[in-house]
Amino acid sequence: MKNVTLSVDGKKITVPECATVFSAAEKAGISIPTLCRHEDLEPKGACGMCIVKIEGQPGFKRSCVTRVEEGMDVFTSTAAIRDIRRGILELILAAHPADCLQCIKHGKCELQTLAERFEIRDLRYDRYTRGLSVDRSSLGIVRDMNKCIGCGRCVQVCNEVQTVASIFFHGRGSNTIVSPACGTTMGDSVCVNCGQCVVYCPVGALYEREAVEEVWNAIDDPDKVVVAQIAPAVRAAIGEEFGMEPGELGIGRLYSALKALGVDVVFDTNFSADLTIVEEATEFLGRLKKSDPFPLITSCSPGWVKFGETFYPDLLENVSSCKSPQQMLGALIKTHYVESRGLDRDNVVSLSIMPCTAKKFEATRPEMHSSDARDVDYVLTTREIARMIRQAGIDFRNLPDGVPDPLLSCYSGAATIFGASGGVMEAALRTAYEFATGKTLEKVDFVDMRGMAGVKEAEIDVGGTPIKVAVTNGLGNARKMLDRIAEEKRQGRSSYHFVEIMACAGGCVGGGGQPIPNTLARRAARIEGLYREDRDLPFRKSHENPEVKALYAEFLGSPGGERAHKLLHTEYIPRERYQFSG
Amino acid sequence: MNDIQFVARFAALGKPLDIDAFALSSGFSGLRKALAMAPAEVVAEVKRSGLRGRGGAGFPTGLKWESIVGGDERYLVCNADEGEPGTFKDRFVLEHAPFLVLEGMAIAAYAIGARTGYIYVRGEYPQIVASLSSAIASAVKAGYLGEHILGSDFAFGVEVRKGGGSYVVGDETALLNSLMGNRGYPFLKPPFPTEKGLWGKPTIVNNVETLAYVPYIFAHGADAFASIGSPDSPGLKLFSVSGHVAHPGVYEFPMGSTVRDLEAAAGGAMGNLKAVQIGGTAGPVFDAAALDYSLDFASMRKAGGALGSGALVFMNTTVNMAQVLDVTMRFFAEESCGQCFPCRYGTRQLAFMANKIASGQGKVEYLDLMRDTARVMVGSSLCPFGQSIALPLESLLNGFGDEVVSFVKQQEFLKEAAV
């Protein structure tokens, strides 16, 4: 690709010819303000904040959608431009609720940041509010269109990246609203709760449905035993909430923090990730023997599961019957743990810390009551647990590494990489190989499964049987894969034996509950952190986990056995896209 | 009275859907001549005629056709989404001379290599959708559309599509989005529709009136067309005349005719003329001095306005300019598509302020704030819609600001007096 040289505010800069003026300025160390552009998304030029003056061209140009040209002379912050930017901000603020102090995005809001940066001190316009009711119908996501500035990132990510198409623009002009079809609510819509809209929202218009207050109440209740679990991807991101680098592991500190908050028992979802692998590898090898329908598709990602139930009901028999690690551990907490400690199940509160907004939905599913109560009572996102830690005044960065409680917390390297796209597949292959061949797998790194690519494929030799596997992340990539699987199924064949699907780009590290910014670059760094931990752990294979072995010996019996089936497996239901409850 | 007419002559036949009557009046003779030429020659002829787009922007039609590049498939779209307030000339053409448009489309399609054409009719013209469909059926039956047009190898079919009632869709990029079933949002150029238009294929979008004048160029020659009107803007033009005139209607005049010519043609102003809005709601409101303006692209640009769609709205001294301000700003607020921030928020605030002024709750400070808002919108709106609000707004505040201010003050005084 050719390079071009241009001048930005008098600074000469050389960039590839496909670069935009916005990114050229960024490279020159100039941060052009924007409210709609996002580094992960195609720019649409909605907000108008990024206008620049290009010498010799009439008017102003949106730098986010203007390509660089050789010899261009760009000015990014003239008096006229600052005046217009302030004008746009004033117009937005006149229509924006002035409740920053109570807003979930306070201090992290892109609009607030720009209002401060451009010194908007008073508003000449008459203020107005839209008076729309806040949509709290969804179990994962709250939608407050009074705060929406119409940047369209959520619409883009929901339609173009995830292809769920739950939300879209409706209405016109200042009545434009982002909403599910036909005025339905989020809860009744096709939304899969992946929360990608939430992590791209620049303001407080879309956010996780919080459970912080309920969890405080449970902790404060002396009769309750609060038992927590922490998902793999949380450990690689929690530190970002406290100024640490993405990928810097915070699991030891998080064990300590939970204890400091008053959580009684701390387990680790990584334990049940290992358990999932033992069950799923057993299921996979069972399918190989019985030649049940292929491919087997993973079921850890509840966003994908609802997506599958909604758009691909004919493929549900291909989805692994294994519950997700969250729900496996929830069921064990409410049965095995309760029994082994002689506790009253109704006094045990099962709490999970997840990178995910869809986990909030998953925990409420009627199938997830194997203990005859909710197996997981509360789900907190990474962001919510960070808020609790801040509220308690805990200096997270300087916490000593704690240890989790025994019984359900030991884990292998195979478990920790569950948080990365391809991790479940890699973990499953490590175990399936040894289960199938009875031999020791020497080379445990399946590097073809790693990385941020949307679709990854490989052929693995498992004891003489070539196993074709594929990994996809992001529901748009999943949709392409699923269309192919469905088409092949109609033709009575399958290119793959085993397919991993994660709803979010990069896997769980990029989940809807992760720290914001949750950019693709940060997700990649978090993934690095997980593979580092995998490399350094004493066990690298799930079936080597001593606590997993003990669990089967003492409680579950054999993998895929009767008790395991009752507690660790589930079923799926075809769903209507919309429930018109009105 | 004007003696050179083209569209009006066909309209005067009084049998708009009678294809034989149209053909007998030398209709389709332009198509016959065009098909005898090579497509590139047809484009060259249109270029030579100097025909400029009649939708508002005045882009040279031949140049547009020439700029279409690539594509295994190409499309022609007739923009009949006539949404400009005070503009009803496309409706006139489609109602009274639909075959002229179909003939123009066939010539254009032949020139640019399109096999499929769409007429995008504004949603508020449902009866035109019906009549056009029947006109297309007769044209196919008579061999002017469909396979082997006039015995040649050229094939071209036309389909009618109904719009959903958005003004912004009059913009060609928004129209293409709407035609593809998407929300009617404009998209950024480049790439231009001539490279990537309908379904990503090279597409030409022409206005109804533009296409209606294409047959003239072939029936009478590019020179004949170029000899009418002014050198900058050759040919005839359809003007929509409304407001305080004796006989509102569509009048066909050469480009460069004066506002006075049109006023006279429409039977003169009723009462004392105070103002004329030219080019549509997105055009400036001039005072009576505008009677001497020449109506062509260059002259109107020089006068600080735009010819636009050729709409002329006459207002006499009974009109309260505060109310004109209100109606105009409300129009913009209702029709903003909502995609870009400056337009979505700006039109709303402008409509607020204008409405408060008109309803007697205005403040003098609003006038400056309205100007500031328009400046923000001109500088940062995504499409010409948001940028164009400054024309009517500033012309009203500059030309009639005193009247608006005194109305605000008078209302304040009346309120205080009532206490």
List the CATH code of the domain at A99-207: 3.30.70.20
Say whether residue A153 is in contact with chain B using an 8 A CB cutoff: no
CB–CB of A48 and B381 under 8 A? yes
Q: Domain map of chain A by residue range?
A: 3-77, 99-207, 213-568
Tens digits of pLDDT across chain B (419 residues)? 456 899 999 999 999 999 999 999 999 999 999 999 999 999 999 999 999 999 988 999 999 999 999 989 999 999 999 999 999 999 999 999 999 999 999 999 999 999 999 999 999 999 999 999 999 999 999 999 999 999 999 999 999 999 988 899 999 999 999 999 999 988 888 889 999 999 999 999 999 999 999 999 999 999 999 999 999 999 999 999 999 999 999 999 999 999 999 999 999 999 999 999 999 998 999 999 999 999 999 999 999 999 999 999 999 999 999 999 999 999 999 999 999 999 999 999 999 999 999 999 999 999 999 999 999 999 999 998 999 999 999 999 999 999 999 999 999 999 888 87
Q: Which of B226, B260, B287 is the last residue of a domain?
A: B226
C-alpha dist (Å) from residue A454 to A295, A505, B157: 18, 7, 42
Q: Across-strand partners of A62?
A: A51
pLDDT for A465 beyond 90: no
Cβ neighbours of B381 in A, within 8 Å: 48
Cβ pair A48:B348 closer than 8 A: no
One domain, residues B180 and B326: no
What is the domain-level CATH number for residue B158? Answer: 3.40.50.11540
Whether residue B231 lies inside any domain: the answer is no
Tokens linked to A72: 């261009």
Q: Which residue on chain A is closest to B380 by alpha carbon? A: A48
The HSE-up count of residue B295 (CA atoms within 13 Å, CB side) is 32
Mapping DSSP to helix (H, G, I), strand (E, B) and coil, where does residue B31 land? helix
Question: pLDDT (tens digit, 9 = 90+) per residue, A487-504?
Answer: 999 999 999 999 999 999
Chain A, 76 to 135: residues with Cβ < 8 Å from chain B are 80-81, 83-84, 87-88, 91-92, 94-95, 124-126, 128
pLDDT tens figures, A62-72: 999 999 999 99
State whether B175 and B41 are in the same domain: yes
Give residue B192's pLDDT. Answer: 94
Burial class (CB in 10 A: 0-12, 13-18, 19+), A575: middle
Counting one residue from chain A and one from chain B, the pairs whose CB atoms sit within 8 A come to 108
| Architecture of the domain made up of A3-77 | Roll (3.10)
Same domain for B273 and B218: no
pLDDT score recorded for residue B189: 82
Q: Would you call A169 and B338 a contact, using CB atoms and an 8 Å cutoff?
A: yes
- Is-catalytic flag, A133? no
Any domain includes B145: yes
Closest CA of chain B from A556, distance in Å: 54
B20 and B101 housed in the same domain:
yes
Q: What is the CA radius of gyration of chain B?
A: 22
Query: CA-based Rg of chain A, rounded to a whole angstrom?
Result: 25
Tell me: do B206 and B261 sit in the same domain. Answer: no
The pLDDT score that the predictor gives to residue B3 is 67
**B2 in any annotated domain:** no
Smallest Cα distance from B379 to chain A, Å: 6
| Cα(A88)–Cα(A80) distance, integer angstroms | 12
Nearest chain A residue to B331 by CA: give it.
Answer: A173
Helix orientation angle between B341-358 and B390-418, rounded to the nearest 10 degrees: 40
CB contact under 8 A, A88 and B166: no
What tokens were used for B177? Answer: 């989005």
Question: Does a structural domain hold residue B1?
Answer: no
Residues B213, B95: one domain?
A: yes
Cβ-count burial of A77 within 10 angstroms (0-12 exposed, 13-18 middle, 19+ buried)?
A: middle
A306 has pLDDT over 80: yes
In the CATH hierarchy, which top-level class contains the domain A213-568?
Answer: alpha beta
The reported pLDDT for the residue numbered A149 is 97
In this structure, is residue B89 part of a structural domain?
yes
Domain count, chain B: 3
Q: Convert the pLDDT of each residue in A519-576 to its tens digit.
A: 999 999 999 999 999 999 999 999 999 999 999 999 999 999 999 999 999 999 999 8
Is A213 among the catalytic positions? no
State the nearest Cα–Cα gap between A196 and chain B, in angstroms.
21
B218 and B363 both lie in a single domain? no
Q: Tell which of A160, A172, A176 to mutate to test the B interface (max B CBs under 10 Å).
A: A172
* pLDDT tens digits for range B364-404: 999 999 999 999 999 999 998 999 999 999 999 999 999 99
Q: Give residue B305's identity as a one-letter amino acid code.
A: G
Is residue B271 located within the same domain as residue B367? Answer: no
* pLDDT digits 0-9 by tens, A14-63: 999 999 999 999 999 999 999 999 999 999 999 999 999 999 999 999 99
Using alpha carbons, select from A125, A19, A144, A135 the residue that is nearest to residue A72: A19
Put simply, whether A172 touches B (Cβ < 8 Å) is yes
- Average pLDDT on A127-152 reads 96
- H and E: helices and strands count for chain A: 19, 17
What is the per-residue pLDDT across A335-357, written as a single tens digit (0 to 9) for each? Answer: 999 999 999 999 999 999 999 99
For the question of residue A301 being annotated catalytic, the response is: no
Instruction: Supply the range of the domain harboring residue B294.
Output: 236-314
What percent of chain A stands above pLDDT 90? 96
The Cα of B353 is separated from the nearest Cα of chain A by a number of Å equal to: 9
Residue B293 shares a structural domain with residue B370:
no
Q: What is the CATH number of the domain that holds B288?
A: 3.10.20.600
- Output the CA angle B156-B158-B162, nearest 5 degrees: 160
Minimum Cα–Cα distance from A65: chain B residue: B188
Catalytic position from the list A208, A248, A279, A280: A280
Q: Is residue A304 within 8 Å of residue A452, measured between CB atoms?
A: no
pLDDT at B249: 97
B219: Cα within 13 Å, side-chain hemisphere: 18
Cis ω before A295 (30° cut-off from 0) = yes
Interface of A with B in 35-54 (CB under 8 A): 35-36, 44-49, 51
Query: Is the per-residue pLDDT at A207 higher than 80?
Result: yes
Which residue would you say has higher pLDDT here, B184 or A1?
Answer: B184
| pTM, full prediction | 0.93
Residue A90 among the catalytic residues: no
CA-nearest residue of chain A to B340? A46
Distance CA A368, CA A362 (A): 8
Domain co-membership, B271 together with B358: no
Query: What's the CA angle centered on B374, arms B371 and B378, to 5 degrees?
Result: 140
Looking at the fold, whether B249 and B146 belong to one and the same domain comes out as: no
- Residue of A26, A309, A362, A500 marked catalytic: A362
CB contact under 8 Å between A125 and B334, yes or no, is no
Say what the pLDDT of residue A580 is.
64
Name the H helices within B266-381: 297-302, 321-335, 341-358, 365-380
Question: What Cα–Cα distance (Å) separates residue B198 from each residue in B30, B194, B207, B415?
Answer: 27, 9, 16, 56
Q: Is A191 a catalytic residue?
A: no
Q: What angle do CA A109, A390, A209 make, to 5 degrees?
A: 55
Which domain CATH number covers B349? 1.20.1440.230
CA distance, residue A574 to nearest chain B CA (Å): 29
pLDDT higher than threshold 60 for residue A582: no
Last residue of a domain, one of B226, B257, B277: B226
Q: Is residue B283 part of a domain?
A: yes
B123 and B254 housed in the same domain: no
The pLDDT assigned to B2 comes to 58
For chain A, give percent helix, strand, coil, nearest 5.
Answer: 45, 15, 45
Residues pairing with A457 in the sheet: A470
